[in-house]
Amino acid sequence: MRLAALLAVAMLSAPAMAQEMDGRMDHGAHGDHGAQGGQAMPDMPAMEDEAGGDPHQGHDAHGAPAAALPLPVPDHSAHRAPQILPATPDLPGDALPPPIPEDHAADRYFPRERMERTRAALRGEGRFATASVMIDELEYRPRGGKDGYAWDGRFWYGGDIDRLALSTEGEGRFGAAPESAELRAVWRHALDPWFNLELGVRHDFRPDPERSYAVIGIEGLAPYWLEVSGHVFVSDKGDVHLRAEAEYDQRITQRLIFQPRAEIDAALQDVPELGIGAGFESVELGARLRYEFARQFAPYAGIHWERKLGETARLARARGEGASSLAAVVGIRAWF
Amino acid sequence: MESPDFSPSRRRLLQSGGALAASLACARAFPAWARSGTAGAGTGETLSGDRIGLTIADSHFSTGGRSAHAVTVNGTLPAPLIRLREGRNVRIAVTNRLKEQSSIHWHGLLVPFQMDGVPGVSFPGIDPGETFIYEFPVTHAGTYWYHSHSGMQEAIGLYGPIVIDPAGADPVAYDREHILVLSDWSPIHPHEQLRKLKLMGGYFNYRKQTLAGLLAGRDQSLKERLEWGAMRMDATDISDVTGAAYSFLVNGHGTAENWTGLFAPGERVRLRIINAAAMTNFNFRIPGLAMIVVAADGLEVKPVEIDELQIAIAETYDVIVRPQAADAYGVIAEALDRSGLVRATLAPRLGMAGPVPPLRERPLLTMRDMGMDMSPAGGEHDHAGHGAQASATASQGHSMTMRDPSVAPQVKLGPGVASLSPMPADRLGDRPTGLEQAGHRVLTYADLQSLRPNPDPRPPSRTIDVHLTANMERYMWSIDGETLSDGARPIPFRLNERVRVNLINHTMMPHPIHLHGHFFELVHGAPGHRPRKHTVNVLPGGRVSFDLTADGEGDWAFHCHMLLHMHAGMMRIVTVRRPAGDA
Ligand SMILES: [Cu+2]
């Protein structure tokens, strides 16, 4: 093995050296354009005018000497020899750069105001701003006679760093008012390559009574491609709530995607009018399998499980409600 | 010895036949050189002489069942061939009939900067209804091209070839030549492509790693997937816009339209290959024919025989092929990520079709593409097997963090910079992405040597580092972490100063970096015959050094030629000025 490698190096170094010699000789012999003349076709017809002519058809056979192409270079398919070349002898100096000019060279040739306008347009090109709408979940939840529904949608407008983001989510059962319905509006600001800060407000239209909250949070892409977020909500009544969410797209095939999702809610104090007790309030786990007919349109099916925890669960039971529920879901995901 | 195909009557027949085929296929016009069944780029009408008129206007284009609005020159896509002769002056009047501003940049031609055609840098652009007259001396021969530098017009059709015939004898001997303009075409407007990528970095990637693949033992092992996942890096993120959106074209023709160039067996055929794509680097090969590379970016190189080359966006290569048999040869341009290819044909007569090879397996990125190759050889080895080994080393610590600011102190570390390559390798001798394992001869930059001696033998008086930066998840692209929109300052040069420029790629994608108004020498091997280029593809996680003589006075664009990268901010202005007190 090692012998073979040595042989290969020896074989390769020969042509590498030869090339180098060749290079130096060329340098000496053809300081001007001699290289070109030396290899040119001797009887290339001189062209009067390129307009109507075809300079390259009808060459005589001897007008195309094979000698014009010396070459072939060794087969490089296995290895090549850059390490064999000598260390670069032409080390750069350490001169200082010139100052950056404050003027624009084009202003010497074209009206300055026109140049200013196009310069501004050029600078503006990189400023990206757009709007995006995503219906992440729009789903139907059959639940023992009382079928339900849920939605989760987002909208944003803005550029790479700053965006205005609106989001809404909620759920309910057909034939009754929604159990929950919230709308959030935040300023989203890129903090680093992966995470964004969110500052804004949230309003819950449901449950009753309505509540407004100030929102601060972080959302982004964690290692292992986990989409995560954590938010703190402070209501106009002073109660403080925490929410953390995570989801992951597991690609089974290019278009079939399994998406587990988790959400956990907590409260720092009892909020009896909302049926919330201090501590962990609830946990939601979902798993959806979607098929991306197109990137922007995918129906899905899955399950959704939620369970109220601790004091919140006790309060629910006291109201005669179950503390946990499990539902099959079908829905669509779409964005544009 | 005239080949039978060249008799005038035969030639006319071929041209009308080609035109007929084109009109039947898709009812659209092609310039003569781009028509199928062309006998060679020398035949038929081209725009030449000292006065040329071009009109930019709205058009429509369709191929392979896809159809959309296009921007064309003189009604054709690609634009007409401009064929000039070295040593002459030319006046080109460009009329803009669009409703938006337009421009034309002469890619690779050394022209006075105010004729270079970059709105906001070298001139004010061509407003709707306006005619701008470009006037410049033609100072060097070779294969070049032209394209819009306004908005996204380059992606929707505004590009065409330029051939400059040498003033004296051509050092390359050939019997016939064809021009092959490679491009990509999508009915999804490039602005919308950009939007989709901002919303979802992998929008067009339908070849990600899957659970099914893992269970079937394909792609990375579970351990590697976890390591890459921990860095939020996707080993399949090879191309942003893929065959899911693009049709790939040769001279405006898709595979079914089968652009055909003719030859007579035994002829030496010169192919002038131009990658005019907006976002696609191509693997180019003609199965069954060896190619002798004779020029790169327009300038002659010492001939080197290969079987395949990767042509980055905005590069040009001239190759000689010598088909001996009267067979049809498939000319294959395969997208870097192998999400699609286009086949054209070289054949002795019209009506033949070269075979279409199956797409090869898509490449996977490795730790070397992250600038994290810790293997002792530092490069001269096969890559595929090495990802696991190198990443094992990386995970042992060694400050192999993804964003250690000390490796690139001048980079502004904001949300737009997701990673910095801890150990970027000199990759000029590397085979390009996806061709590491090809079982035949593949061109590397290290194989190229200038035919003529380099004109400026001075060693560089200083060095500058230029860091190519990105956050591929947010689809942000920049240089040194900054964009022109952020107010990035120009890169200043003294007139005629010689400087070494190190391009360091901190992203997982190759970037074809183009400097306007100059050729530079790639620093590889001993000085003297280093290859001179106007565009260099910097491989992911890699480093490229070039020496530049700043002899073009004025202001110049310097940018990644992936159109969406440039548009998103991977661009700088280079200023070349006389030192103060130097009149
Ligand atoms: Cu780029």
Average pLDDT over residues A167-176: 92
Q: Is the Cβ pair B453, A27 closer than 8 Å?
A: yes
- Residue A336 pLDDT greater than 50, yes or no: yes
Which residues in chain B are closer than 8 Å to A128, comparing Cβ atoms? 194, 198, 568
Structure-token match 């790629």, residue found = B505
Average pLDDT over residues B516-534: 95
Band (pLDDT 50/70/90 cuts) for residue B85 is very high
Q: How many CB atoms lie within 10 A of CB A138?
A: 15
Taking all residues of chain A, what is their mean pLDDT, rounded to a whole number? 79
Residue of B120, B232, B492 with shortest CB distance to A118: B120
Q: Is the Cβ pair B462, A93 closer than 8 Å?
A: yes
Which residues in chain A are closer than 8 Å to B119, comparing Cβ atoms? 118, 121-122
Model confidence pLDDT, tens digit, residues A252-272: 999 999 999 999 999 999 998
Q: What is the DSSP string of A153-171?
A: EEEEEE-SSEEEEEEEEEE
pLDDT over 70 percentage in chain B:
89
Q: How many CB atoms lie within 10 A of CB B315?
A: 26
**Which positions 289-328 of A are in contact with B (Cβ < 8 Å)?**
295
The closest of A281, A283, A277 to A263, measured between CA atoms, is: A283
pLDDT at B371: 81
Instruction: Give the residue on B whose Cα is nearest the Cα of A254.
Output: B206
Q: Is the Cβ pair A97, B492 closer than 8 Å?
A: yes
Band (pLDDT 50/70/90 cuts) for residue B537 is very high
Which residues in chain B are closer than 8 Å to A190, comparing Cβ atoms? 414-415, 474
Model confidence pLDDT, tens digit, residues A279-305: 999 999 999 999 999 999 999 999 999
The Cβ-side half-sphere exposure at B518, using a 13 Å CA radius, reads 30
Closest approach of chain B CAs to the CA of A268, in angstroms?
33
**Which positions 124-183 of A are in contact with B (Cβ < 8 Å)?**
124-128, 130, 132, 160-161
Structure-token match 């879901």, residue found = A329
Instruction: Give the residue on A whose Cα is nearest the Cα of B569.
Output: A126
Instruction: Give the residue on A whose Cα is nearest the Cα of B2.
Output: A58
- CA B201 – ligand 1 centroid, Å: 14
Residue of B119, B232, B270 with shortest CB distance to A194: B232
Model confidence pLDDT, tens digit, residues A200-230: 999 999 888 999 999 999 999 999 999 999 9
Residue A89 burial class via C-beta count within 10 angstroms: exposed 0-12, middle 13-18, buried 19 and up: exposed
The Cβ-side half-sphere exposure at B71, using a 13 Å CA radius, reads 26
Q: Is the Cβ pair B473, A193 closer than 8 Å?
A: yes
Q: Which two tokens stand for residue A252?
A: 């089974």
Taking all residues of chain B, what is their mean pLDDT, rounded to a whole number? 89
Band (pLDDT 50/70/90 cuts) for residue A248 is very high
Average pLDDT over residues B418-427: 90
pLDDT at B45: 65
The residue among A100, A102, A103, A125 with the most chain B CBs within 10 A of its CB, best to mutate, is A125
Structure-token match 């290899």, residue found = A39
How far, rounded to the nearest angstrom, does the alpha carbon of residue B318 sit from its chain's CA centroid? 14
- Residue B560 pLDDT greater than 70, yes or no: yes
Q: Is the Cβ pair B452, A37 closer than 8 Å?
A: no
Average pLDDT over residues A107-123: 96
Q: Is the Cβ pair A70, B168 closer than 8 Å?
A: no
pLDDT over 70 percentage in chain A:
74
Q: Spell out the alpha helix ranges (H) of B287-424.
A: 386-394
B65 contacts: CB under 8 Å, gap ≥ 6: none
| Total residues belonging to chain B | 583
- Residue B12 pLDDT greater than 50, yes or no: no
- CA B518 – ligand 1 centroid, Å: 19
Average pLDDT over residues B420-445: 93
Q: Is the Cβ pair B300, A24 closer than 8 Å?
A: no
| Total residues belonging to chain A | 336
d(Cα B87, Cα B141) in Å, to the nearest integer?
Answer: 9
Give the CA radius of gyration of chain A. Answer: 35
Higher confidence at residue B388 or residue B193?
B193
Model confidence pLDDT, tens digit, residues B61-73: 988 888 899 999 9
Q: Which amino acid is at B342?
A: V
The residue among B43, B123, B134 with the most chain A CBs within 10 A of its CB, best to mutate, is B123
pLDDT at B41: 76
The residue among B555, B572, B582 with the most chain A CBs within 10 A of its CB, best to mutate, is B555
- CA B245 – ligand 1 centroid, Å: 18
**Which positions 1-30 of A are in contact with B (Cβ < 8 Å)?**
19-20, 22-24, 26-27, 30
**Which positions 32-61 of A are in contact with B (Cβ < 8 Å)?**
33, 35-37, 39-42, 44, 47, 49-51, 53-61
- Residue A241 pLDDT greater than 60, yes or no: yes
A178 with A172: CB under 8 angstroms? yes
Long-range residue pairs from A198-207, CB within 8 A, at least 24 positions apart, any chain: A198/A165, A198/A231, A200/A165, A202/A233, A204/A180, A205/A170, A205/A178, A205/A181, A206/A170, A206/A172, A206/A177, A206/A178, A206/A179, A206/A180, A206/A181, A206/A182, A207/A179, A207/A180, A207/A274, A207/A275
- Beta strands at B542-549 and B425-426: parallel, antiparallel or unpaired: parallel
- Residue B250 pLDDT greater than 90, yes or no: yes
Model confidence pLDDT, tens digit, residues B13-61: 334 334 334 333 344 578 888 888 887 776 556 888 889 999 999 999 9
- CA B277 – ligand 1 centroid, Å: 13
- CA B229 – ligand 1 centroid, Å: 23
Closest approach of chain B CAs to the CA of A210, in angstroms?
33
Which residues in chain B are closer than 8 Å to A35, comparing Cβ atoms? 171, 451-453
Band (pLDDT 50/70/90 cuts) for residue A89 is low
Band (pLDDT 50/70/90 cuts) for residue B372 is confident
Model confidence pLDDT, tens digit, residues B463-482: 999 999 999 999 999 999 99
pLDDT at A123: 93
Instruction: Give the residue on A whose Cα is nearest the Cα of B495.
Output: A98
What is the sign of the dihedral through the CA atoms of B367, B428, B209 and A262? Answer: positive
Lowest model confidence (mean pLDDT) among A53-57, A97-101, A323-327, B575-579: A53-57
Q: In what order do the strands lie in the sheet with B82-85?
A: B47-48, B82-85, B159-165, B142-147, B105-107
**Which positions 89-118 of A are in contact with B (Cβ < 8 Å)?**
89-101, 104-106, 108-111, 114-115, 117-118
Residue of A37, A55, A80 with shortest CB distance to B429: A80
Model confidence pLDDT, tens digit, residues B482-514: 999 999 999 999 999 999 999 999 999 999 999
Higher confidence at residue B400 or residue A17?
B400
d(Cα A59, Cα A68) in Å, to the nearest integer?
Answer: 14
Which SS3 state, helix, strand or coil, does residue B307 take?
coil
Q: Is the Cβ pair B526, A96 closer than 8 Å?
A: no
Residue B216 burial class via C-beta count within 10 angstroms: exposed 0-12, middle 13-18, buried 19 and up: exposed
pLDDT at B44: 55
Q: What is the DSSP string of B553-564?
A: -EEEEEEESSHH
Residue of B451, B486, B555 with shortest CB distance to A35: B451
HEC per residue, B62-131: EECCEEEEEEEECCECCCCCEEEECCCEEEEEEEECCCCCECCEEECCCCCHHHCCCECCCECCECCCCE
Q: What is the DSSP string of B24-68?
A: HHHS----GGGSTTB--TTSS--EESSEEEEEEEEEEEEETTEEE
Q: Is the Cβ pair B305, A72 closer than 8 Å?
A: yes
pLDDT at A142: 86
d(Cα B504, Cα B466) in Å, to the nearest integer?
Answer: 6
A336 at B interface, C-beta within 8 A? no
Q: Which two tokens stand for residue B291?
A: 């190619």
